[in-house]
Structure 1
């Protein structure tokens, strides 16, 4: 019996015990790792995430009385009961804002959602930069799409989930996380153009090439709704405005030096613009390398991306830098922070034979620095959201 089947059975049983009747169905949606393309999504740029095997699972039933009942097996507390007509952006500052925000976004868009009972359980680490919030949003959106026969496509669900997080929760995130959770395919990375949401599944089977991609969760927690993330986004928008373009995606890599010169002495905006334009180019470079079969060569590109996030975007932290520096010194092909920054996780590309050495070195480096022990696991490109039963 597969792990997803076991999880579905457990969530179904927990729902039944909680609400007194079996759910109408069970769904799951994964967290994600972003291989390359950080902070480019809200600049209409390119990203390349893949889904993790870590998922949020939801058992859900329809209601017809305008009531939303929410329960999480991962959070202390009982069932939260909310009236759909009273859902208001910005008023809920608990975990319930994410699923209730999805319901709000669906109803605001005119979809006839009349209530639901929802029980959730997740294996996606929270605060680790692995999109636990997107997994929560997408699993609820997919369940309601199926139960209410809304007929929405996966990219449309992702858009609605992004709106829920931007407007209802108040976190100014881009579209990447929700699209990755909804649309990724097993054994592939998703090359996504965030402007038009065009997608291309790029084969990414590291095991077949004797390589591994490790995720190192630094255990340093972050939140996207704090001020620093919003400041970076506002700075990028300012840069686009000063350069007379709709988004920084429209600044050609070949014209970067000229664009930076036009920004004058606004060093903060110059740094943000430089990161976004060079990061888009790195995504395209990684796609080209993977399509040509030169997978090991993406390692230095990942490392370049970390330097840009650390020095230009300034969203790294000592723990993330220690992971990257230690992994590279221990034989990694490349490494970088992943996710929104200010904590969370780093990824490490390595030959399979080097994984034990790198893992031990990182763990010892954290112990020597008196940091909390990191969580290290292999990232296996997995499937996107699905109905389990």
Structure 2
């Protein structure tokens, strides 16, 4: 039995143990890795994520009333709430991510008079706090399920928008739309080029297997929280920079605007702005490189992205820098931190034959630095959120 099948069986068994009967439908949504394009999404820019083969799986059974009960293996309590009572004031903790999607749907115009209640049970093999969007997977799996179960009629881009709205308004994290988009739109062995202004999305073949490459994730185990101050402060700096430079968002600026920005902005705001402008350029150049030369040629762009996040945006931490340096020294063609920063994971594009050597070197480097042991594993670009067959 592969890992995905094992997780699905575990969810079905967990549902029966928690609620005393079998589910009648099964859903899943993946986490994501962002290949390149960090902190560009809420600046209306470009991102290049992909869905990964680590997923959140949810089993559901319809109820005859309008009550939702939701439970998970990573929290002891079962959360119970009437559908009509769901609002930002009535949901909290981990359950705010899925349940807030109900309120978000009503804010996007859905009338839920015909909606029914259900029991739901979730499990996940996406590491929490690792920068792999375990929260977006929760929102995406729940959003897709209620869209189909209640016949709400949303396409996947709209579900992603509701997920971002939920994260901003209910959870209180000022994130962009990238994570939900990757979780909902991902395809096998591909990345998703997302224009965060227009929400246009294009699937770009990655071609890792043809190049003998894989993507290693180095989870530093330094947990981060997007709802805390560092992320919000970076977003505020970007908004200030756009205001002072007279544009709607930093998306409206190019590298040709950097000299003016350096004259008109204080040093910190300028560096925040420079990261976003140059990161947008790197995303588009990565797409061109993938199309023209293939995955073996994108390494320098990943390396430059990490330097920009470390020095200009200042969202790296010593553990992430060590992970990137170690990967670069042990066979990676390119490496960078991924996710919102202040902890989480780094990624390395590396020949598949060198992954074990990278794992050994990384564990040794972290131990020598006095850091806690990281987790090193590979991920494969995979399909987005889906209804799974319930065949057992």
TM-score normalised by length of structure 1 = 0.95
Distance 1:271 1:91 in 2: 40
Distance 1:96 1:302, change over 3 A: same
The structural deviation recorded for 1:31 is 0.2
RMSD: 1.6
| Alignment match of 1:141 (pick from 124, 140, 143) | 143
Aligned residues of 1:90 and 1:170 also touching (Cα < 8 A): no
Partners of 1:165 and 1:90 lie apart in 2 by 14
Equivalence for 1:170: 172
Who is 1:100 aligned against? 99
Q: Distance in 2 between matches of 1:115 and 1:47?
A: 36
Q: Is the 8 A contact 1:62 1:147 kept in 2?
A: no
The answer to whether the 8 A contact 1:218-1:345 is kept is: yes
| Number of matched pairs | 386
In 1, distance between residues paired with 2:109 and 2:200? 25
CA distance in 1, matches of 2:216, 2:352: 10
Q: Which residue of 2 aligns with 1:21?
A: 21
After the TM superposition, which residues 174-323 of structure 1 pair with which residues of structure 2 at under 5 Å, given as runs?
174-263=176-265, 266-323=266-323
Unmatched runs of 5 consecutive residues or more in structure 2: none
Query: Could you give the per-residue CA deviations for residues 337-366 of structure 1, whole angstroms, max 9, x where no partner exists?
Result: 000000000001122333333222111000
User: Residues 130-184 of structure 1: CA distance to partner in whole angstroms, max 9, x if unpaired?
Assistant: 0000001100111111111112100000000111111011111100000000011
- Contact 2:186/2:192 (8 A) holds in 1: yes
Partner deviation per Cα, 1:220-271 (whole Å, 9 max, x = no partner): 00000001100111110111111111110110223322233232xx112101
Task: Say if 2:91 and 2:100, in contact at 8 Å, map to a contact too.
Answer: no
3-state DSSP of counterpart to 1:79: strand
Match of 1:89 in 2: 88
The 2-side partners of 1:205 and 1:314 are apart by 32
Shift of residue 90, structure 1, vs aligned partner? 5.4
The more displaced of 361-370 and 80-89 is 80-89
Return the alpha-carbon distance in structure 1 between the equivalents of residues 188 and 11 of structure 2.
Answer: 23
Shift of 1:114: 4.1
In 1, the alpha carbon distance for the partners of 2:5 and 2:173 equals: 33
- Report the equivalent of 1:377: 377
Match runs of 1:30-69 below 5 Å? 30-63=30-63, 65-69=65-69
- The residue aligned with 1:350 is 350
Q: TM-score, normalising length from structure 2?
A: 0.94
Alignment partner, residue 154 of structure 1: 156
Contact 2:316–2:342 (Cα < 8 Å) also in 1: yes
Distance apart, 1:102 and its partner CA = 1.0
State which drifts further: 191-200 or 37-46: 191-200
- The gaps in structure 1 that reach 5 residues or longer are none
